[in-house]
Amino acid sequence: MIMPKKSSITCLSDISGNSLNDHRARMVLAEKAVSFEVEYIDLDNPSEDFLNINPYHTLPVLIDRDLVLNQSNIIIEYLDERFPHPPLLPVYPVSRAKTRLMIYRIEQDWYPLAERLIENADDDEARKELEGHLMKMIPAFKEMPFFLNQEFTLVDCTIAPILWRLPIMGIELDEKAEAIKEYAKRIFARASFRESLSDAEIEMNEDEYGHI
């Protein structure tokens, strides 16, 4: 039966490592430095326990004692409120709203394209469109140490899983995207990012893993 260990949270994740949403949930957990366990689920052969606790049969799933959450955007905000230090959303309402809007934009515009490329790296249309989104945002990557912020936020947790998977999506950033490369290095160098990686995710970008 899927149950959290004593005094820890359990995060159910896709064993394939293909899920962007799984990865960002684990990033938030690692950033908060809380005790948590990861249980990997094979969605091609899910257990009855998993199907019973999540009517949508999706991942990630967060189990915190009697609470079960199954939507990644709800999970990451819950974790930020449950463990307020370090805060991963800005304090001021306007900044928080802008941050949430940026997360929504990435979820709606970037994630579907990345998911298509993870499924099929030969999808030239998706690759061109995702590259276009990234290149348009170069000034934002360049402006501050983190994405539109001096501090690491949930936006960075949302972007990082895409950048880590660029090699398996067949995307190689050119010299014009130096700001994105430098941003990625800063994120990948974080201890929390390294802790968030599954074995399957390490294999997706082994060259970069050797440098973090």
Task: Kindly state the average pLDDT of the residues 79-91.
Answer: 95
Please report, rounded to a whole number, the percentage of residues in the chain having pLDDT higher than 70.
95
What does the pLDDT average to over 87-113? 95
The third-level CATH classification (topology) of the domain covering 93-190 is Glutathione S-transferase Yfyf (Class Pi); Chain A, domain 2 (1.20.1050)
Q: Is the pLDDT of residue 138 over 50?
A: yes
Judged against a pLDDT cut of 70, whether residue 145 lies above it is answered with yes
**CA geometry: angle at 203 spanning 199 and 207, to 5°?**
130
Q: Whole-prediction pTM value?
A: 0.92
The chain-wide mean pLDDT, for the chain, equals 93
What was the pLDDT predicted at 207? 77
Quote the pLDDT of residue 6. Answer: 45
Single out the residue of 176, 166, 177, 183 nearest to residue 130, CA to CA.
166
Mean pLDDT of 56-68: 93
**pLDDT band at residue 206, thresholds of 50, 70 and 90?**
confident
Exposure class string for 74-95: b at 16+ Cβ within 10 A, else e: ebbbbbbeebeeeebbbeeeee
Give the mean model confidence (pLDDT) for residues 37-62.
92
